[in-house]
């Protein structure tokens, strides 16, 4: 069976759209209608007129799509595709964090559950985090769950105290500052592009710090020919495919792989479309509260 042909056929028959995060296996791009980072995919989910949304990503992303489209069928091809960072804070932990620092606006990274979003003031992604925090016009904000992104935002703004919850992306957090020095020595002509989920010590050695889409756009617009890519392997794979005239390197030749992001397969997508399952549901009350948090982000990001 040619899964790609069958998927494209089913998409037309069922008025379905496939959203794929760029940390996904690269072959999924062959059936995806939109490929991008969390902000872009949230925007596409908000705009779609499809009846079925297949989200090739992880659980919190599919939840977000469902919150934005409560009347549509949202399907995550592999229900085991979760996010370790999102799992680092639950509703009780959020409430304890907020009680510890009362009357301070709360910003949650999109890498969080619907329940957490439902009790935060506004959502953000790595591509708009600085803009979102700035939009609150507050000298203090609570930021969760990623401490690394929160600290980076604080450094960019300078005049806002960002109080961070102690969570992180294990994939980015483990990127080693010593290894980036060795990689730079090995490839002296290469410039370092890093995701702000990396540690502050690691980011201090980067030539450019930006979101997934920011890194991709930097390469697109740069005259440089060699790059060290400090983020998930899916970005590296797509850059190698799209810019064959440029050279790309992992940090210390060890690709950063998010196991959950790699769980969805072409076969999973085919089965998801065929059976219209497994479907994502979000409690109505939680969904309505979380929608305010997400919509506020989308308004600021216009």
**Are residues 226 and 212 located together in one domain of the fold?**
yes
Beta strands in the chain (DSSP E): 16-21, 34-36, 52-56, 73-75, 106-109, 122-124, 140-144, 161-164, 191-194, 208-209, 226-230, 247-249
Strand, helix or coil for residue 55: strand
Residue 253 scores a pLDDT above 90: no
Residue 39 scores a pLDDT above 90: no
**Are residues 91 and 77 located together in one domain of the fold?**
no
pTM as predicted? 0.95
Residue 90 included in any domain? yes
Decide which of 150, 171, 192 is a domain's last residue: 171
> Does a cis peptide bond (omega within 30 degrees of 0) precede residue 145?
yes
Residue 192 included in any domain? yes
Decide which of 156, 171, 186 is a domain's last residue: 171
Mean pLDDT over residues 45-62, rounded?
Answer: 96
Mean pLDDT over residues 24-33, rounded?
Answer: 97
196 token code pair: 């702000």
**Are residues 63 and 102 located together in one domain of the fold?**
no
**Are residues 92 and 73 located together in one domain of the fold?**
no
Q: What is the number of domains present in the chain?
A: 3
Residue 287 included in any domain? no
**Are residues 148 and 217 located together in one domain of the fold?**
no
Pairing of strands 52-56, 106-109: unpaired
Decide which of 152, 171, 190 is a domain's last residue: 171
Mean pLDDT over residues 276-294, rounded?
Answer: 97
Residue 254 scores a pLDDT above 90: no
**Are residues 20 and 79 located together in one domain of the fold?**
yes
Residue 19 scores a pLDDT above 90: yes
Residue 252 scores a pLDDT above 90: no
pLDDT at site 190:
98
Encode pLDDT of 173-218 as tens digits. Answer: 999 999 999 999 999 999 999 999 999 999 999 999 999 999 999 9
> Domain range spanning residue 219?
176-255
**Are residues 14 and 62 located together in one domain of the fold?**
yes
**Are residues 42 and 93 located together in one domain of the fold?**
no
pLDDT at site 1:
82
Torsion of the alpha carbons at 245, 251, 254 and 256, rounded to the nearest 10: -90
Could you tell me which residues come within 8 angstroms of residue 277 by beta carbon, excluding any fewer than 6 positions away?
Answer: 75
Mean pLDDT over residues 99-105, rounded?
Answer: 98
CATH of the domain at 158: 3.40.50.10800
Residue 297 included in any domain? no
């Amino acid at each position: 069976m040619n899964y790609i042909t069958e998927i494209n056929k089913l998409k037309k028959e069922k008025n379905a759209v496939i959203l794929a995060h760029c940390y996904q296996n690269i072959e999924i791009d062959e059936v995806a209608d939109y490929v991008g980072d969390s902000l872009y995919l949230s925007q596409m989910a908000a705009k779609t007129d499809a009846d079925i949304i297949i989200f090739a990503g992880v659980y919190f992303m599919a939840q977000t799509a469902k919150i934005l489209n409560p009347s549509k069928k949202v399907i995550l091809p592999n229900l085991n595709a979760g996010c370790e960072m999102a799992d680092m804070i639950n509703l009780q932990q959020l409430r304890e964090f907020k009680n510890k620092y009362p009357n301070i606006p709360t910003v949650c990274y999109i890498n969080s559950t619907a329940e957490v979003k439902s009790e935060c003031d506004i959502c953000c992604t790595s591509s708009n985090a600085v803009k979102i925090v700035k939009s609150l016009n507050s000298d203090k904000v609570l930021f969760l769950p990623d401490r690394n992104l929160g600290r980076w935002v604080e450094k960019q703004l300078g005049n806002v105290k960002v109080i961070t919850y102690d969570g992180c992306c294990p994939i980015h957090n483990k990127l080693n500052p010593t290894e980036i020095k060795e990689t730079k020595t090995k490839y002296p002509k290469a410039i370092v592009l890093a995701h702000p989920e990396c540690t502050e010590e690691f980011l201090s050695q980067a030539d450019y710090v930006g979101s997934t889409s920011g890194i991709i756009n930097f390469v697109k617009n740069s005259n440089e020919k060699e790059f060290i890519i400090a983020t998930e392997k899916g970005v590296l794979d797509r850059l190698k495919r799209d810019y064959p005239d440029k050279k790309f390197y992992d940090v210390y030749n060890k690709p950063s792989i998010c196991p959950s992001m790699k769980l969805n397969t072409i076969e999973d997508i085919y089965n998801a479309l065929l059976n219209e399952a497994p479907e994502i549901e979000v409690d109505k009350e939680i969904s309505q509260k979380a929608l305010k948090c997400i919509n506020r982000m989308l308004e600021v990001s216009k």
